Amino acid sequence: MTQWVFDLGNSRVKCAPLQADGTLGPMLAFAYDDALLAALDAEVPATVAREASTAVLASVASPERTATVVDWLTTRFGTVSIARTQAALAGVRIAYAEPVRMGVDRFLALLAARRRGAGAWLVVGVGTAVTVDLLDAQGRHHGGRIAPSPRLMRDALHAAAAQLPAQGGDYVEFATDTADALASGCEGAALGLIERSLEQACETLGQRPALLLHGGGAPALAAQLREGEMAPGLVLEGLAVWARLGTDA
């Protein structure tokens, strides 16, 4: 059986093969552009026995982008499964009264955190948005937060005031030029959200959770944090858990 997992985000597709022990093989990433399908054709090997191959995907992308990738997957894999948020799976219990309203990427990141260890976790994703979710040592989700990412903040400011550059600048505590002030303000807003969430998590749980960071914008924030573990493939790790258990739940 050949099995791959695919994470369709807002800005790119990430994927990886699953090894025999359920862990991820080498991770690949592709931008959404006119060359996407050609890149997938070139990098994702065709299987000898198509009927014995499976693709499992999660998507927060637009319906059009999702349909494009799903159509491609059906030409390469015998079975295509789409992960959905569930009320409980693999020791994780979601706080949402209507689990379907919670983004599947957040749900899968929690599954992956739980698989890494039974302690408490604050899981932070940094992509188009910053998402923060608290998971206690018993696997109970206490809810979370969603905010614009630093990149989205910069884009919004530039759209509202074209003289403010959408890119550039470095993080400093008190900037002396506009580019640095923008970088510091937008990154600082996300850092403040993470740091406050850690403080509130301590009050809620009576212990400090481990901080787990993922997403394309996470490395820039991690450089300014005193703690935190980077997990670039966290959603794919969660998909590996879902691929093993989700369809039977």
Task: Determine what percent of the chain is predicted with pLDDT higher than 70.
Answer: 97
> In this predicted model, what pLDDT tens digit does every residue of 191-239 receive, in sequence order?
999 999 999 999 999 999 999 999 999 999 999 999 999 999 999 999 9
What's the gap between Cα 212 and its chain centre?
Answer: 11
Tokens 């699953």 found at? 18
pLDDT at 48 > cutoff 70: no
Rounded Cα distance between 206 and 110, Å, is: 20
Q: Which residues are CB-neighbours of 73 under 8 A, at least 6 positions away?
A: 6, 55, 57, 80
State the average pLDDT over residues 114-130: 95
Rounded Cα distance between 114 and 23, Å, is: 15
pLDDT attached to residue 37: 95
Q: Residue 211 is encoded by which pair of tokens?
A: 């901080």
- DSSP 8-state secondary structure symbol assigned to residue 123: E
Q: Residue 104 is encoded by which pair of tokens?
A: 């599947």
pLDDT at 49 > cutoff 80: no
- Identify the residue with better confidence: 20 or 209: 209
Rounded Cα distance between 175 and 192, Å, is: 17
| Region of residue 20 (left: phi > 0; alpha: psi -120 to 50; beta: else) | alpha
Q: Confidence band (pLDDT; 50, 70, 90) for 46?
A: confident
Q: Which residues are catalytic?
A: 105
- pTM (2 d.p.): 0.94
Q: Which H or E element spans position 147?
A: strand 141-148
Rounded Cα distance between 143 and 213, Å, is: 17
pLDDT attached to residue 248: 44
Q: Residue 113 is encoded by which pair of tokens?
A: 């955190």
> In this predicted model, what pLDDT tens digit does every residue of 141-166 receive, in sequence order?
999 999 999 999 999 999 999 999 99
State the Cα angle at 148 between 216 and 240, rounded to 5°: 45
> In this predicted model, what pLDDT tens digit does every residue of 164-181 receive, in sequence order?
999 999 999 999 999 999
Query: Where do the domains of the chain lie, and which CATH numbers do they carry?
Result: 2-82 (3.30.420.40), 118-233 (3.30.420.40)
What separation in angstroms does the CA of 180 have from each of 9, 80, 171?
A: 28, 46, 6
> In this predicted model, what pLDDT tens digit does every residue of 52-74 receive, in sequence order?
799 999 999 999 999 999 999 99
Q: Confidence band (pLDDT; 50, 70, 90) for 20?
A: confident
pLDDT attached to residue 249: 42
Instruction: Tell me the torsion sign for CA atoms 149, 88, 24, 42.
Output: negative
